[in-house]
Structure 1
């Protein structure tokens, strides 16, 4: 919600209070300040100047060289391209050093070989609303040399996040009441305008839905002239970022942001007979003010006329056909109280959200219905109008008793009873004779003792409550263990040069082509959002990979040459094609593409490949043997199961080359998705680190020829089967193929391995090394199609 400090100052005296003080007060009281924007002229070095001379620029047809009087001993020369001024006009002059934004400060320069010592400015260039094209022409009586900011009002806009339980703060009056409580400052109250009311006759309002609309009022105002709003009203609305429309619409918007009570105006001539407050019929058509078409259900509340046409979706948005236009001469002004749950349900289902629905669905103040209507009627300048009402306003909140003993125990006796009661009184509560506190209608969230205690604590300040207890020991839980395991994984991946991403859990339909679920998807497994906010957020992600692919695309378009990304998060799917209960699981996804190291004079660029991906996986789980077992997947170029020993822990794949090109990725993209629950168990499993060797080892090489389709895992499986106790490690040191078939058959490959042998307890003799190597060769010789070279 946007709050203007100038507007807020009409409710309490803020003189002597800085922006930072006000911001801190809101923050510590539980109202988050999301942004602060200062409006108006930003610098004292923007002064009133009078143009004394303007001659054509000698080297540019569209520029002029001016001499201006800025109140200095000498005239200042400035080159200007505007055309809307004449000699003698007074205009804003930005002197050298004037800071117009965080990144732009005026200085002296040379334009086409002519010196320019500043800048003559247009309105929008110095923080004012856009005016006519060219320079801002100031009043003739503006004193030369004074800062231009003294001629115009400035303002500060606070962007505040109000929690759902505090609808009373969704207005300037509510914020003023809150701030006055925190500052111990009296409110600047004005006498509320009077309103003439009477019970509705059946020919004016027909009331058919008391459950969803307990109270409804309508006022007919004739001889209305729809025109532009007065300057003060335009300024008020523009100060909080609203666009003025016409005087009627602007008045209803002003009252909403002033009091928190939404209003709506119908064109009375477009209403046939009485207003009818009723539930919609199933499938009833409705065209909203934003020109969107909606099919209603019986859960929706509408305001219609006797012809049956829906004029408004109650509490959410007005109808297009009954809107106020320039030709409107009579209006029906609505002010009502609607049940929050009904408005919330309709707003979510229709995806229609407005300032009105935002307030009604949180619970508007019932006692503000008629005062808000009275204020609007006064602003429309029709004091003779009579308001018709029907229904009964909700009862006032029940009184709440404050347990003083529990309060003092909770706050560590840091506040006296008198001070606590004073805070409640400043918040608008009244103490009754029996000690209970009468709750104002705008604070329906206060229903229990602890609610009152929270309000007292919030205003008193948590920093004033002494700390009494130190941290106590809590046994490690499964949640703690999972968190620790996740942090270990994050640290290892960061150490390997990967960057962590955090992407949204909702993806677009077209991102389904990038999913890499741990188990293949079945028809009906995808969970779609019933009313998505946008097409990009329409599906609950069944895999984390699409988010990483989107991140890789954005980084590549920013000229990133090396992509090494990972993300941990939750995935969602219907298990068993939607026949079983929805499932959520935690996954870890990786993506690598592009150069393996920064470009350097000492090394050639090398794009990442499948072996780099396997190396990352191996380093992630030290003590476990990582292998890739080929596995068919439809949407990728190649895929494999990731195994830690005999256990499958995830899926590895390379994207289709066509998909890589579509994403503007010039290198192969390798992705992996792993079951985080299995990783946590493996990461927390203890393994022993071998001592440094005390005795020397010896290496032996072996060159082999085998079928080109034989995977490396076959060799590794054979070596594991040999169970040679002296074999410490082995590495593939070369691979050779020849497509021409000249040096080796085209369907064969030559590979060489280097084997390291050692005994941890003694120094081996030559024949012992030879015997161990011979055992390995004999085992490898049993691999189908393998021959030694």
Structure 2
């Protein structure tokens, strides 16, 4: 809801408070402030100017070259494209240097070759409301050269989000009442005449008391429907409403002033009495929004003796019974509608209005007559006319509030003794509650949210300020739980992977069963990187569709589907990861289902963007291995080959010799289906195992004090022997002087000319160092020869 600060100033004096203080006051009291905006002329350099001449632009049919008097010593030339003005009219002129907001600064320049030394403005361009297409034409008596800021008052609009339990705040009176209670200041109550009432008579027939327990109507004859006065239009425009005519504008003004909806019928379009009844099933109704709606038997309508629906009760008036310029007599409706009935009709018809917004939250039943009398008085003042007799009333005013006892012991306990009983009672009094005998309080009709004693305590705490209530507890140390540590570890993985250029995905936990079957796997899906055993799949008892038939046993199918969508969008480098839960049966369903958190990685496409200075290369398996090593620092990561159906290359991922996940490369056929002409690699890691290996204290080695020495060795091995076997053999040898080793060359010759086709040449460098002394060459040679002998004995290799 939009609240005008100028409008609020009619109720209470807020001049001693800054906007920030008002914002804080409302926010800490539970009324959310969504935004604060200033309205009005934005710059003092926007002045009244008079058009002295307007000549056709020499090079543009739709532009004119105007000479305007802006109160300066000489006329100012401005090029203008508007058509609604004539010579002699006065309009806003933004002089060079005027800031129109949003960084739009007026400067001297040229338009189609002709100098333009300012800008003639429309109302919308200077923070006002547009009422015509073109320039804002100012009154003839406006003083030339006078800044518009001195003519039009600025305003501040506070946008608040009102919770459904506080419909009393949906008006300027309600908001003023709230601010007065919070700030402890007095407010001016609006002067509202007492309404004379009579029975329903010939004006009302109430036949739907469940949906409309209370209905009133008053006839006003001899009105003249014209444009509203400037003060009324200004108030409505400030909160975003478009003025229509004086009668309709008064009903809107009363709504936003007092919070109770009203509706005015053209009496000439009403035959006989107003009949408040339930709609017939299938009945048609054409609303003010010019849409036709099909009603149901649960909708309440206001019709006349002809049976035609004139309005949809509590929601919107009808197009054929509304007030127009030809209206001379009106019937002003004010009623109370049952919130649940209005809410149901509004939702079913997808039709909402300011009225339904308030009725469905619960309007104040005691405000029915008050609002009617307030609007009727304004109509006779602004539109003329005469009130014909007393206000007709049908039904009874619902009594929705009563008395509530304030539990003083509970108040003292919950408030920690931070407020005295007298001050607490003062807060309740400011909020509109009435003190009765003992500890009883009468709840006002507009506070439907206070049915219990604890609600009174909450109101006292809210106004007193929760920060003023002392805490009874002090912070205590709590050990980190397993859930906390797992969350922190997963967040650290996310930060590392995003730093490496990965994008996180979040896919649905339900997948198609074909994603787990190599014989029917379709495009945009992939088999799990970790193979499935019989009975592993957890099926959904009543799946929504075939694509959501099983709980995902792996994250990789979802990642591949994500990659496929990105490939179709032209993405060249694929780096995706997902952290989530996977589901498998244990032992073919004989035990409880296993839910485990996993990390899945997908890499493919170009490793780096190509440019003029370099060409990009395709991502390979060593790139994804390097990523895994960065997630498990200071740990030995190895890929142990293992054939798996559906993949061209697959392996177990070992960390310090322990299995922690699975690696796989999609087949070329699968990559072509996805639209990729480069290999795509997948990896899936068990987070619990990785957390155990990747966390904890990390030992930092001291900088070496003595120099080391390196030796190289080239060995000939079977082409099928994995590199992991060499690394295992080196580690098993456990040479104390060996500090590091790495493969630096690999050679194969499929032709068999330089090397047998079933052999490969692998070259390693080994680095030796003693932590105690500088080694002699013989020591290094002896250690190196022992290592080579161990490798020759353990592996089917020969040294070259």
User: TM-score normalised to the size of structure 2?
Assistant: 0.71
Tell me which of 300, 304, 313 is aligned to 1:303.
300
Q: CA deviation at 1:85?
A: 3.9
Q: Structure 1 pair 719/474, CA: closer, same or farther in 2 (3 Å)? A: closer
Alignment pair present for 1:422 and 2:422: no
Aligned counterparts of 2:396 and 2:310: Cα–Cα separation in 1? 20
Alignment pair present for 1:186 and 2:194: no
Tell me which of 758, 777, 781 is aligned to 1:766.
781
Q: CA deviation at 1:450?
A: 4.8
Aligned counterparts of 1:776 and 1:728: Cα–Cα separation in 2? 17
Q: What secondary structure, in the 3-state scheme, does the structure 2 residue paired with 1:27 have?
A: helix
Aligned counterparts of 1:359 and 1:478: Cα–Cα separation in 2? 48
Asked whether the equivalents of residues 397 and 444 of structure 1 are also in contact (C-alpha less than 8 Å), the reply is: no
Aligned counterpart, 2:630: 619
Aligned counterpart, 1:23: 23
Deviations, residues 455-504 of structure 1 (Å, cap 9, x unaligned): 3343334555677865333343344434433443345346x345887989
Aligned counterparts of 2:677 and 2:6: Cα–Cα separation in 1? 54
Alignment pair present for 1:725 and 2:734: yes
Aligned counterparts of 1:528 and 1:321: Cα–Cα separation in 2? 44
Alignment pair present for 1:11 and 2:11: yes
Asked whether the equivalents of residues 217 and 334 of structure 2 are also in contact (C-alpha less than 8 Å), the reply is: yes
1:63-78 aligned at under 5 Å gives the runs: 63-78=63-78
Aligned counterparts of 1:43 and 1:777: Cα–Cα separation in 2? 88
Asked whether the equivalents of residues 404 and 452 of structure 2 are also in contact (C-alpha less than 8 Å), the reply is: no
Q: CA deviation at 1:396?
A: 1.2
Aligned counterparts of 1:422 and 1:302: Cα–Cα separation in 2? 44
Alignment pair present for 1:754 and 2:769: no
Tell me which of 215, 218, 223 is aligned to 1:217.
215
Q: CA deviation at 1:260?
A: 3.6
Aligned counterpart, 1:93: 93
Q: CA deviation at 1:236?
A: 4.3
Aligned counterparts of 1:584 and 1:168: Cα–Cα separation in 2? 49
Asked whether the equivalents of residues 287 and 319 of structure 1 are also in contact (C-alpha less than 8 Å), the reply is: no
Aligned counterpart, 2:102: 102
Aligned counterparts of 1:583 and 1:250: Cα–Cα separation in 2? 65
Q: CA deviation at 1:194?
A: 2.1
Alignment pair present for 1:150 and 2:150: yes
Q: CA deviation at 1:3?
A: 1.9
Deviations, residues 529-585 of structure 1 (Å, cap 9, x unaligned): 9xxxxxxxxxx9x9899899999999999x9998877777x7899999xxxx99999
Asked whether the equivalents of residues 38 and 155 of structure 1 are also in contact (C-alpha less than 8 Å), the reply is: yes
Q: What secondary structure, in the 3-state scheme, does the structure 2 residue paired with 1:204 have?
A: strand
Aligned counterparts of 1:200 and 1:672: Cα–Cα separation in 2? 82
Q: What secondary structure, in the 3-state scheme, does the structure 1 residue paired with 2:158 have?
A: strand
Asked whether the equivalents of residues 591 and 669 of structure 1 are also in contact (C-alpha less than 8 Å), the reply is: yes
Asked whether the equivalents of residues 228 and 243 of structure 2 are also in contact (C-alpha less than 8 Å), the reply is: no
Q: CA deviation at 1:263?
A: 5.9
Aligned counterparts of 2:20 and 2:700: Cα–Cα separation in 1? 56
Which protein has the larger Cα radius of gyration, Structure 1 or Structure 2? 2
Q: What secondary structure, in the 3-state scheme, does the structure 2 residue paired with 1:101 have?
A: coil
Q: CA RMSD in A?
A: 6.2
Q: CA deviation at 1:36?
A: 1.8
Aligned counterpart, 2:398: 393
Aligned counterpart, 1:533: none
Q: Structure 1 pair 295/221, CA: closer, same or farther in 2 (3 Å)? A: closer
Q: Structure 1 pair 338/287, CA: closer, same or farther in 2 (3 Å)? A: same
Q: CA deviation at 1:428?
A: 1.0
Deviations, residues 135-174 of structure 1 (Å, cap 9, x unaligned): 3332221111111233334332222123344332233222
Q: Give unpaired runs (5+ residues) of structure 1.
A: 530-539
Aligned counterparts of 1:575 and 1:352: Cα–Cα separation in 2? 49
Aligned counterpart, 1:445: 449
Tell me which of 464, 481, 487 is aligned to 1:477.
481
Q: Structure 1 pair 754/442, CA: closer, same or farther in 2 (3 Å)? A: farther
Residues 174-183 or 678-687, more deviating? 678-687
1:195-344 aligned at under 5 Å gives the runs: 196=197, 198=199, 204-207=205-208, 210=210, 213=211, 215-217=213-215, 219=217, 230=228, 235-242=234-241, 254-262=253-261, 275-277=276-278, 301-303=298-300, 333=333, 335-339=335-339
Asked whether the equivalents of residues 652 and 659 of structure 2 are also in contact (C-alpha less than 8 Å), the reply is: no
Deviations, residues 168-188 of structure 1 (Å, cap 9, x unaligned): 223322212112223313133
1:347-358 aligned at under 5 Å gives the runs: 355=354, 358=357
Aligned counterparts of 1:588 and 1:301: Cα–Cα separation in 2? 53
Aligned counterparts of 1:437 and 1:680: Cα–Cα separation in 2? 59
Aligned counterparts of 1:322 and 1:640: Cα–Cα separation in 2? 77
1:610-689 aligned at under 5 Å gives the runs: 611-622=622-633, 683-684=694-695
Aligned counterparts of 2:379 and 2:525: Cα–Cα separation in 1? 58
Deviations, residues 15-68 of structure 1 (Å, cap 9, x unaligned): 454433332332233322221222221101101122344455566665554443
Alignment pair present for 1:166 and 2:166: yes
Asked whether the equivalents of residues 176 and 187 of structure 2 are also in contact (C-alpha less than 8 Å), the reply is: no
Q: What secondary structure, in the 3-state scheme, does the structure 1 residue paired with 2:34 have?
A: strand
Asked whether the equivalents of residues 312 and 318 of structure 1 are also in contact (C-alpha less than 8 Å), the reply is: yes
Asked whether the equivalents of residues 719 and 780 of structure 1 are also in contact (C-alpha less than 8 Å), the reply is: no
The aligned length equals: 745
Alignment pair present for 1:140 and 2:140: yes
Q: CA deviation at 1:620?
A: 2.0
Q: Structure 1 pair 57/269, CA: closer, same or farther in 2 (3 Å)? A: closer
Q: What secondary structure, in the 3-state scheme, does the structure 2 residue paired with 1:71 have?
A: coil
Aligned counterparts of 1:41 and 1:240: Cα–Cα separation in 2? 16
Asked whether the equivalents of residues 46 and 148 of structure 1 are also in contact (C-alpha less than 8 Å), the reply is: yes
Asked whether the equivalents of residues 167 and 358 of structure 2 are also in contact (C-alpha less than 8 Å), the reply is: yes
Tell me which of 461, 464, 468 is aligned to 1:460.
464
Q: Structure 1 pair 174/719, CA: closer, same or farther in 2 (3 Å)? A: same
Q: Structure 1 pair 190/43, CA: closer, same or farther in 2 (3 Å)? A: same
Q: Structure 1 pair 380/133, CA: closer, same or farther in 2 (3 Å)? A: closer
Deviations, residues 403-461 of structure 1 (Å, cap 9, x unaligned): 27854873564x55433332221111222220333222322333555543443343334
Q: What secondary structure, in the 3-state scheme, does the structure 2 residue paired with 1:105 have?
A: coil
Q: Structure 1 pair 19/435, CA: closer, same or farther in 2 (3 Å)? A: same
Deviations, residues 304-363 of structure 1 (Å, cap 9, x unaligned): 699999999886x569999969799998957334355x7767877887765556545544
Q: Give unpaired runs (5+ residues) of structure 2.
A: 381-386, 513-522, 546-551, 587-591
Q: Structure 1 pair 250/148, CA: closer, same or farther in 2 (3 Å)? A: closer
Asked whether the equivalents of residues 411 and 457 of structure 1 are also in contact (C-alpha less than 8 Å), the reply is: no
Aligned counterparts of 1:9 and 1:505: Cα–Cα separation in 2? 53
Q: CA deviation at 1:7?
A: 3.3
Q: What secondary structure, in the 3-state scheme, does the structure 2 residue paired with 1:423 have?
A: helix
Aligned counterparts of 1:230 and 1:586: Cα–Cα separation in 2? 66
Q: Structure 1 pair 437/275, CA: closer, same or farther in 2 (3 Å)? A: closer
Asked whether the equivalents of residues 203 and 274 of structure 2 are also in contact (C-alpha less than 8 Å), the reply is: no
Q: Structure 1 pair 469/248, CA: closer, same or farther in 2 (3 Å)? A: same
Asked whether the equivalents of residues 193 and 378 of structure 1 are also in contact (C-alpha less than 8 Å), the reply is: no
Q: What secondary structure, in the 3-state scheme, does the structure 2 residue paired with 1:100 have?
A: coil
Alignment pair present for 1:716 and 2:709: no
Aligned counterpart, 2:492: 488
Q: What secondary structure, in the 3-state scheme, does the structure 2 residue paired with 1:769 have?
A: helix
Aligned counterparts of 2:711 and 2:359: Cα–Cα separation in 1? 79
